[in-house]
Structure 1
Amino acid sequence: MISVIIPAYNEEENLPVLLQKIDEMFRQSGLHGEAVVINDGSTDDTQVILDGLKNKFVFLKTIEHTVNSGVTASLENGISRATGDILIYYPADLQYLPEDIPKLVKKINDGCDIVTGWRQGKYGGKAFVSKIYNFISRLFFKISVHDLNSVKAFKKEIFSNISFQKDWHRYMVVLAAAKGYKVAEVRITLYPRMYGKSKFGPQRVLPAFWDFVVVLFVIKFSQKPMRLFGNLGLISFIIGLGLLIYLSILHWLGEKIGDRPLLLISILLIFVGIQFIAIGLLGELINQNSRKK
């Protein structure tokens, strides 16, 4: 059984069409399942539309958020209500059609743990940003898939074994791969948005950048914090010590060094280096205690 998880924010025009196409997909593919739509604090008639559609589609479940909580929170709530063993994340904007769902499910049934769609088509205004994001992600996370921020199919156990924060849904594939889950991708068709407005905007770029930095840190260094803090601390300490030796030589040669800013900088670098090394050691101790528990 599959569960299609659909976060929706102001999608009153798209949802009837999407659910009709999901119904057709179930009947034509032979797949059995449900659709869980999360109304994420919509200010239009999304909830009214959903209440009416429940009488038409027996596979439909709905969840209503009183305020807009974001895609990650919507996924978490949707998955908590889902009964399928294979979960499908599908946006409500009709840029992805349910006819591609069987391809995603087949990859899971073939032995993959999580499958992401590789979008084929015009991205619209965010094409450049999306390509840069995916290129940098492949480079830093050493992951082979082309498109991380697309529709996904995954085993239910994955979501319970990965720690998520707000807006980390776009890193689901990366976090799953870091846990050793088998990742794959399939080509899917991307269509222009017909109704409603895109939720993407320039204001999301900076928060997405900081999310990237935090996820990279969590994956690369959370289990081995000494690799980051120890190396930074050692570099800082060596530079500070080198400057201090240089100033000591100048002092031995008879030059005044007491009023030089370089003296303060060298002492500060040594102090910061020791602090970083101490943080790394503390992190290693915390990790060891966590593993024992």
Structure 2
Amino acid sequence: MRGQNQAYAVSVVMPAMNEERNILQAVADVVDGFQRTGVSGEIVIVNDGSSDRTGELAEGFKAQYPFISVVHHERNLGIGASFWDGVQHSRGEFVTMIPGDGENCASEILRYLPLMDQVDIVVPFVYNRGVRSFRRRILSITYREIIKASFGLSLNYMNGTVLYRKAILDGISLRAAGFFYQTELLVKTILNGYLYAEVPYALLRRGGGDSKATTLKSLGKVARAYLGLMGEIYLGGWKRGPIVPDSATARRGKDIEAAP
């Protein structure tokens, strides 16, 4: 962890809405993850229109740790909008999203940072599936198969703490403000040709409160965002863009071209 004006290896964007019961553990876990893995990192907490003490607690963390910054939304904009806002305020070479709900162990994704020498995206999949309810597991399987059939994207899980090289996100136009944002980013970056790796990832149990991902309101937004992405990819003239020169994909392409 470095001084305020220095660059960081990784930025952890932490969206949080009404997570006063969980955010203390979530922040402590990321700090512990930085220390255990020896990673120079920062945390960008995005208080997404909370009506409880989440924003107040976030400001307390900012005062305590020089590598923590806080972004406040006056109203709830959604986890996708919060992630994107956090990315705009981040300074790391790599960026990932770890929610403020305490379900994720930061070291589980930070341990894979060395893989970023070879790829531009690390996509985790939950291997301790028993931590999730049967209903949640069925929803995940159904969702995975729909995305696979729609976009040809064969991934085990698409809504986790994906690790990105920040440079490859610069040219992405993100439409989804809610939970579909991660799938949209994966579809657009992988279809664009960026190299990725899937890795096993252990999930924790929430310390309190209920997940907002599977409410009817959230599922409705996901369905609308899915239809919007289908229209953009197949009817809206979406085209692959250039590969960012400062990416593992570009470097490995040059290595192949230079090989005898």
- Counterpart of 2:226 in structure 1 is 212
What residue identity is the alignment partner of 1:82?
Answer: S
Deviations 1:192-219, CA, capped at 9 Å, x for gaps: 2121221131232233223212212322
Give the C-alpha shift of residue 84 in structure 1.
0.3
- Counterpart of 2:181 in structure 1 is 169
1:181 matched to 2:188? The reply is: no
Deviation larger for 10-19 or 120-129: 120-129
Give the C-alpha shift of residue 183 in structure 1.
2.2
Aligned partner of 2:138 among 123, 128, 132: 128
State the SS of the aligned residue for 1:94.
coil
User: Conserved in 2, the CA contact under 8 Å of 1:6 and 1:91?
Assistant: yes
1:137 matched to 2:147? The reply is: yes
Cα distance in 1 between the residues matched to 2:63 and 2:238: 53
Cα distance in 1 between the residues matched to 2:225 and 2:116: 28
User: Conserved in 2, the CA contact under 8 Å of 1:23 and 1:57?
Assistant: no
Cα distance in 2 between the residues matched to 1:207 and 1:20: 31
Give the C-alpha shift of residue 108 in structure 1.
1.7
Aligned partner of 2:125 among 115, 118, 143: 118
- Counterpart of 1:245 in structure 2 is none
- Counterpart of 2:41 in structure 1 is 33
Seen in structure 2, the aligned counterparts of structure 1 residues 34 and 216 have a Cα distance that, compared at 3 Å, is same
Give the C-alpha shift of residue 185 in structure 1.
1.5
What residue identity is the alignment partner of 1:170?
Answer: Q
Segments ≥4 residues shifted beyond 4 Å: none
What residue identity is the alignment partner of 1:163?
Answer: S
User: Conserved in 1, the CA contact under 8 Å of 2:26 and 2:99?
Assistant: no
Query: Whose radius of gyration is greater, 1 or 2?
Result: 1
Deviations 1:93-127, CA, capped at 9 Å, x for gaps: 11111121223322223x21112210122322422
Q: Number of residues paired by the alignment?
A: 224
- Counterpart of 2:18 in structure 1 is 10
- Counterpart of 1:50 in structure 2 is 58
Cα distance in 2 between the residues matched to 1:68 and 1:174: 25
- Counterpart of 1:62 in structure 2 is 70
1:76 matched to 2:84? The reply is: yes
- Counterpart of 2:29 in structure 1 is 21
1:222 matched to 2:236? The reply is: yes
Deviations 1:150-190, CA, capped at 9 Å, x for gaps: 11100112222111112341321111112111122111112
- Counterpart of 1:196 in structure 2 is 209
User: Conserved in 2, the CA contact under 8 Å of 1:145 and 1:184?
Assistant: no
What residue identity is the alignment partner of 1:9?
Answer: M
Cα distance in 2 between the residues matched to 1:70 and 1:47: 16
> Gaps spanning 5+ residues in structure 1: where?
226-293
User: Conserved in 2, the CA contact under 8 Å of 1:36 and 1:78?
Assistant: yes
- TM-score, normalised to structure 1, is 0.72
Give the C-alpha shift of residue 8 in structure 1.
0.5
Deviations 1:13-53, CA, capped at 9 Å, x for gaps: 21111211212211221110100000000011011111222
- Counterpart of 1:153 in structure 2 is 163
Larger relative contact order (C-alpha < 8 A, sep ≥ 6)? 2
What residue identity is the alignment partner of 1:50?
Answer: A
User: Conserved in 1, the CA contact under 8 Å of 2:11 and 2:96?
Assistant: yes
Give the C-alpha shift of residue 224 in structure 1.
7.6
Cα distance in 2 between the residues matched to 1:35 and 1:76: 14
- Higher-helix-fraction structure: 1
- TM-score, normalised to structure 2, is 0.80
User: Conserved in 1, the CA contact under 8 Å of 2:47 and 2:72?
Assistant: yes
> Gaps spanning 5+ residues in structure 2: where?
1-8, 240-260
